[in-house]
């Protein structure tokens, strides 16, 4: 074949592959445009997992009537004009690709009016071909309707998942934005039913509106020369998910999530990072989800610090004033199924998972030792690990940490000879652990994970029968731990029922 220039319609379809992966990515682009247009009311309608309809209506600035055609052209944007702008960009969009891509792979309509004009414009594009443009009466703002996504790309359409799955992705994106933009009214209507109606509120209130089942919100924050970080953990929303925002942009970054996961376990987390724009490069990916830092280490350190010093949540035992009337002495009611300790305290009945509570205690004990005099070692028959030159170098950096974690070793002829291991680690795959630590980008986190595993091994198990004395001791030590709410893997340690609820259930005032 000879070389030829591709027609724009084809270029748009190819580009659409990058920007528009699925209905949720359309929603993301449209909501971002509304936010960029300073809207404070955003209404979304979804039909059939977004395959049939994705509609986003806002009350933002609208588009100038003479610009409406430009909005759907490729590389047309009102948001930047020179390359320097992208280093300090505050808007979500700037590549001018979204509307052109979306309108080339759907039946697309946009109605927009600016406040200075009595009428707005309506534009319809089908699969990238112009269909219709006219004046129209419309409220100030913009409404975009995307119907039949990928109708002209059957191969892409077939790649979409079930409506249910696509809807899940949509809700995921919706939540990301709704959490961050608590000052904005959002409405999400799915197949004719309102799923969320969110009035403007404080961030914490918004989180409670979105997760009514969460009983606890744990907060953390830190600030240093690099920037500011704060966030929330919902330990009982055990979705294994978390959202990271950098300067208001939802992003993904596997190292950041690993650092925070090592503290939150399965609980749902939200992490908000504020960094000077020059430190962050959002332009890595067309959908701007991935992010790169110009200096990584200080950012990681900042986050580690925040989650480490996170607000000691207390156990909510002593929080509320009005509960004073209740007896604040522990009353041990018993053990059920040799697994849960049942305890009354301050107006509430607690069901405490004995294994998890014990694991929390052991983890903190071991971590304390690790951070101070070191975890005790036991001798083992010598084990040899062959190391590459780079591995020897990495080992140099974590040598001291390994020693404090209870490992004894020396290096000879490019080999690591292990002569001692942490007490109680006899059943662990020691070579595997060491390799994991040396090869990790974040060895310290890896060591802490290992310490968590050790804590788990030596803890009281579900099924162990405990005497009253043992229960009392366990509870006492557990309450003194830094985080009595979560096990090192992030499992909640207890479930509690307020006596008030019991009263309500049986109709006692």
Using CB under 6 A as the binding rule, whether residue 33 contacts ligand ADP is answered as: yes
CB-wise, 26 or 421, nearer to Mg ion? Answer: 26
CB-wise, 99 or 198, nearer to Mg ion? Answer: 99
Beta strand extents in 354-397 (DSSP E only) = 377-386
CB-wise, 63 or 210, nearer to ligand ADP? Answer: 63
Using CB under 6 A as the binding rule, whether residue 96 contacts ligand ADP is answered as: yes
Question: Three-class SS of residue 175?
Answer: helix
Which range of residues in 96-104, 287-295, 442-450, 451-459 is near ligand ADP by CB under 6 A?
96-104
CB-wise, 100 or 362, nearer to ligand ADP? Answer: 100
Using CB under 6 A as the binding rule, whether residue 63 contacts ligand ADP is answered as: yes
Q: Which residue is nearest to ligand ADP (CB)?
A: 93
DSSP 424-470: T-TTS-HHHHHHHHHH-S-HHHHHHHHHHHHHHHTS--TT----HHH
CB-wise, 30 or 438, nearer to Mg ion? Answer: 30
Least distance (Å) between residue 108 CB and ligand ADP = 11
Q: How far apart are the first and last CA of the chain?
A: 85
CB-wise, 69 or 349, nearer to ligand ADP? Answer: 69
Which range of residues in 61-69, 278-286, 407-415, 443-451 is near ligand ADP by CB under 6 A?
61-69
Using CB under 6 A as the binding rule, whether residue 41 contacts ligand ADP is answered as: no
Q: Which residue is nearest to Mg ion (CB)?
A: 93
Rounded CA-CA distance 404/4 in Å is 65
In the region spanning residues 189 to 208, those forming contacts with ligand ADP, defined by CB under 6 A, are none
Selected from 45, 51, 94, 243, the binder of ligand ADP by CB under 6 A is 94
CB-wise, 96 or 231, nearer to ligand ADP? Answer: 96
Using CB under 6 A as the binding rule, whether residue 60 contacts ligand ADP is answered as: yes
Question: Three-class SS of residue 169?
Answer: helix
Q: With residue 41 as reference, give the H or E element that holds it.
A: strand 41-47
The pair of three-digit structure tokens given for residue 129, joined into one six-digit string: 């071909």
Selected from 12, 109, 142, 459, the binder of ligand ADP by CB under 6 A is 142
CB-wise, 289 or 380, nearer to ligand ADP? Answer: 289
- 356, with CB counted inside 10 A (0-12, 13-18, 19+), is buried
In the region spanning residues 376 to 415, those forming contacts with ligand ADP, defined by CB under 6 A, are none
Residue 220: name the closest of 178, 273, 296 by CA. 273
Q: Kindly report the CA angle at 85 between 120 and 179, in degrees rounded to 5?
A: 65
CB-wise, 76 or 257, nearer to ligand ADP? Answer: 76
Using CB under 6 A as the binding rule, whether residue 42 contacts ligand ADP is answered as: no
β-strand 242-246 against 268-274: which pairing, if any?
parallel
Residue 213, C-beta contacts closer than 8 angstroms, at least 6 positions apart: 236, 237
Least distance (Å) between residue 36 CB and ligand ADP = 6
Selected from 93, 128, 488, 492, the binder of ligand ADP by CB under 6 A is 93
Question: Three-class SS of residue 421?
Answer: strand
Distance from CA of residue 451 to its chain's centroid?
24
Report what 339 binds from Mg ion, ligand ADP, none; CB cut-off 5-8 Å by kind. Answer: none
* Alpha-carbon dihedral sign for residues 502, 505, 507, 509: positive
Q: Count CA within 13 A, CB hemisphere, residue 51.
A: 18
For the sheet containing 331-336, what is the strand order? 331-336, 340-345, 348-353, 494-498
Selected from 52, 79, 147, 228, the binder of ligand ADP by CB under 6 A is 79
Least distance (Å) between residue 46 CB and Mg ion = 19
Rg (CA), the chain: 28
Burial state string for 255-283 with b = 16 or more CB within 10 A and e = fewer than 16? ebbbbbbbbbbbbbbbbbbebeeebbebe
Selected from 98, 210, 270, 418, the binder of ligand ADP by CB under 6 A is 98
Is 410 within 8 Å of 440 (Cβ atoms)?
no
The backbone torsions φ and ψ at residue 170, rounded to the nearest 5 degrees and listed phi first, read -65, -50
Report what 302 binds from Mg ion, ligand ADP, none; CB cut-off 5-8 Å by kind. Answer: none
Report what 61 binds from ligand ADP, Mg ion, none; CB cut-off 5-8 Å by kind. Answer: ligand ADP
Using CB under 6 A as the binding rule, whether residue 111 contacts ligand ADP is answered as: no
Beta-carbon count within 10 A of 318 CB: 12
Using CB under 6 A as the binding rule, whether residue 95 contacts ligand ADP is answered as: yes
Which range of residues in 69-77, 126-134, 445-453, 475-483 is near ligand ADP by CB under 6 A?
69-77
**Contacts with Mg ion, residue ranges (CB under 5 A):** 33, 93, 98
CB-wise, 93 or 231, nearer to ligand ADP? Answer: 93
Selected from 20, 24, 37, 279, the binder of ligand ADP by CB under 6 A is 37
Give contact residues for ligand ADP (rule: CB under 6 A).
Answer: 29, 33-34, 37, 58, 60-63, 71, 76-79, 93-100, 142
């Amino acid at each position: 074949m000879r070389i030829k220039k591709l027609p724009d319609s084809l270029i748009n379809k190819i580009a659409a592959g990058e920007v528009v992966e699925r209905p949720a990515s359309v929603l993301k682009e449209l909501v971002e445009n509304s936010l960029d247009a300073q809207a404070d009311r955003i209404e979304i309608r979804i039909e059939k997992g977004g395959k049939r309809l994705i509609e986003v209506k806002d009350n933002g600035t609208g588009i100038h009537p003479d610009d409406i055609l430009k909005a759907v052209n490729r590389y047309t944007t009102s948001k930047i004009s020179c390359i320097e702008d992208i280093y300090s960009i505050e808007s979500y969009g700037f590549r001018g690709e979204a509307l052109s891509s979306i309108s080339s792979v759907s039946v697309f309509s946009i109605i927009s009016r600016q406040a200075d004009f009595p009428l707005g414009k309506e534009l319809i594009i089908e699969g990238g071909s112009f269909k219709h443009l006219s004046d129209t009466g419309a409220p100030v703002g913009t409404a975009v309707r995307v119907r039949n996504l990928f109708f002209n790309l059957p191969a892409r359409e077939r790649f979409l998942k079930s409506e249910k799955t696509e809807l899940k992705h949509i809700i995921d994106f919706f939540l990301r934005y709704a959490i961050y933009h608590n000052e904005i009214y959002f409405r999400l209507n799915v197949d004719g039913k309102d799923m969320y109606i969110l009035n403007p509120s404080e961030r914490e209130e918004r989180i409670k509106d979105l997760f009514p089942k969460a009983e606890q919100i744990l907060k953390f924050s830190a600030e240093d020369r690099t920037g500011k970080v704060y966030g929330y953990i919902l330990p009982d929303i055990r979705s294994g998910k978390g959202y990271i925002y950098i300067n208001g942009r939802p992003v993904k970054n596997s190292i950041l999530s690993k650092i925070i996961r090592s503290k939150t376990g399965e609980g749902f987390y939200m992490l908000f990072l504020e960094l000077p724009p020059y430190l962050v490069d959002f332009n890595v990916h067309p959908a701007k989800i991935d992010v790169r830092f110009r200096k990584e280490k200080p950012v990681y350190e900042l986050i580690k610090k925040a989650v480490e010093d996170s607000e000691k949540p207390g156990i909510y035992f002593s929080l509320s004033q009005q509960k004073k009337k209740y007896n604040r002495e522990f009353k041990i009611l018993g053990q059920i199924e040799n697994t849960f300790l049942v305890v009354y305290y301050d107006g509430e009945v607690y069901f405490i998972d004995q294994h998890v509570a014990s694991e929390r205690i052991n983890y903190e004990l071991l971590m304390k030792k690790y951070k101070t005099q070191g975890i005790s070692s036991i001798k083992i028959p010598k084990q040899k690990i062959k190391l590459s030159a780079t591995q020897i170098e990495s080992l140099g950096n974590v040598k001291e940490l390994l020693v404090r974690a209870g490992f004894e070793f020396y290096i000879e002829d490019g080999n690591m000879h292990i002569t001692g291991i942490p007490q109680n680690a006899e059943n662990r795959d020691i070579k595997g652990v060491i390799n994991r630590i040396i090869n990790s980008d974040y060895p310290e986190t890896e060591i802490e994970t290992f310490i968590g595993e050790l804590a788990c091994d030596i803890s009281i198990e579900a099924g162990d029968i405990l005497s009253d004395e043992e229960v009392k001791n366990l509870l006492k030590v557990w309450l003194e731990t830094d985080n009595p709410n979560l096990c090192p893997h992030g499992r909640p340690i207890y479930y509690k029922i307020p006596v008030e609820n019991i009263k309500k259930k049986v109709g006692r005032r």
